[in-house]
Chain A
Amino acid sequence: MTRQLATRADPEERDAGDIDALMSAFYEVISFEEGDAPDWERMAGLFSSHAQITRLTPEGIDYLDLSSFRHMAEELIELGAFTSFFEYEVARRLDRFGGVLHIASAYETRISPQAVDYIERGINSLQLVREEGQWRILSLCWDTAARFDPQESYISELGGKLHGQN
């Protein structure tokens, strides 16, 4: 497994089509290097215009749409809570129910791709629907306090493999 901040290629080329590309793009757009910011324009292309983003923290629940999520993130960046951000997918399980695709995506947040320890570990729960021939994220929900423990086989419970491995 390698961890790298992916280069941001032509959005249409990277984001079109399959789930791998969508999930890869999802983690790319929310990650950013020192002094930079998330790629908001490209992020909007990955989400349905009806999308909901829900963040659970021990202090409360944030019910957001793309615009208010951006506002929250920009405020946190401005206040210096983050000056860079790197999140990547560790494992993934897919369940399809007709036109609804549910993805449980185990993630880690680290200070950099080279860091040996994580800042946060959790599960992004995503619902995808197909709009105009493309899978788009209709719902993103995660609990910042619900860490998975790789030593307790959480990864295998997800039914996934470490991302990037066969």
Chain B
Amino acid sequence: MARIERFAVSHSRKIDSADRYVGEAARAGVILQSAQSGAGRHVVIDGRTLLNFGSCSYMGLQDLPELRQGAHRAIDDYGTQFHFSRAYLQCPLYAELDEQLRIMAGRPVVVAASTSLAHLAALPVLIRDTDHMLIDQFAHASLHTAVQLLPKVPLEIVRHNQMQVLEAKLEALRNAPGNVWYIADGLYSMLGDFAPFSRLKELLDRFPKLRLYLDDAHSISWLGTYGRGPALEHFHDDPRVVVAMSLNKAFSAAGGVLAVPSEETADRIRRCGGPMLFSGPIQPPMLGAAVASARLHLSSKLPDLQSELRGRLEACAASVRKHGLELANEELTPIFQVPCDSPRIVFDVAEELRERGFYCCVCVFPAVPMNRPGLRFTITRHNTLEDIEAFVPKLAECVSLAHRKRASDDPLAAQAMG
């Protein structure tokens, strides 16, 4: 093998390593599984009916009659597929969806087939050759993929939510010829923490060339006016900010949305954003569900549903405190992460919880850093207060049990603990 003069982790090595680590988790039976049924309060895995603490449908809208009827009606009207490229013709439901999402976002929108495809369409159109890109190290994988479409634009990675590091980089680029894009998530899906919106607002005030591209997929529906999420609550009237939203997850349909500052920008992305022209559209059933969900978001029902979820989040946070569980952060979001000492312990906790009738998700490398393994659980409107009261003490018990078991099984650990 030739000597590597200047090491750079090659693409193939990254894929090979990811395959090994993901394979380990799959062999442990904690990821890449198929459910036998269930998507709400319960999920059935390996013949076991489990209370579901792993869903991203935070608002639990997918079972509401209006969304189901929206999908059924769309099939009746247009069939299962609208068989044109959007470059030529789009399903009439798009126009209605655009109109409602524009009200929801408070600015022009572009609807894409998924949030990932929205990034792939938007970033190459928005970012110019003379610009710079700064991306949070924990930004969603789809954002890290999308920036690779701009190999000539300088790219730097910023440690997670380190605003003083971002500020120093912005200062260093103050006299750079183009704009400086900071690319990040609004709510991080593994650790459950928000981007520091207030600090970002301060930086926008201080650095005229700063532009923000925020993926707020996990905050949509459950937070903000019409469920537009915290990024748009902070920045909807700022022409230097682009926000990506998801029509999956809490919105309970399918697709991605770009909330952009002007119609001109929206048109440019529609005309030049690759996947907008050559990728398939959202098909009628899910467009119908999306239109119905958008109507619900603009209705007087939404604040009550948001409040219902918030009550569950507060109950969960209180129970977590009562049972002395440590969390990765204290933000009140539907995503909770309980740090564990190793991936083996995470897998043990997940299995012990299944034995007790609960399903939640593991967070191990490469989804999180090697030194941040943990158990991720989510709270949705499907979880009753009684479910939460039953779940949290069992979780605390399993976390404690799995750590003690590893310590007692290992002579070095046992020695270290005295």
Contacts and interface: CB of A to CB of B under 8 A. Distances in A.
Contacts, number: 112
B407 A117 contact: yes
A64 B4 contact: yes
Interface size class of B (residues with CB under 8 A): 35 or more
Contacts of A82: 369-371
> Chain B interface secondary structure, helix, strand, loop or mixed?
loop
B6 A68 contact: yes
B1 A116 contact: no
Contacts of A61: 1
Most central of A58, A61, A75, A79 by chain B CB within 10 Å: A79
B341 A117 contact: yes
Contacts of B415: 1, 162
Given A71-B7, A111-B373, A117-B407, A81 B365 contact: yes
B403 A85 contact: no
B288 to A, nearest CB: 39
A117 B5 contact: no
Interface size of A as a range: 35 or more
A75 to B, nearest CB: 6
Interface string A111-123: 1100111110000
Nearest to A34: B371
B315 interface: no
A117 B410 contact: yes
A78 B20 CA distance: 21
B157 A78 contact: yes
A57 B14 CA distance: 12
A81 B366 contact: yes
A35 interface: yes
A42 interface: no
A84 interface: yes
Given A116-B406, A117-B413, A150-B410, A59 B341 contact: no
Interface string B1-28: 1011111110001001100100000000
Contacts of B372: 83, 111
Given A63-B3, A119-B342, 15 more contacts: A59-B13, A59-B17, A72-B9, A75-B8, A75-B9, A79-B157, A80-B138, A82-B371, A83-B159, A112-B371, A116-B404, A116-B407, A117-B344, A118-B413, A151-B411
12 contacts: A2-B416, A59-B17, A62-B7, A68-B6, A69-B7, A71-B6, A72-B9, A81-B366, A110-B341, A111-B371, A116-B345, A118-B410
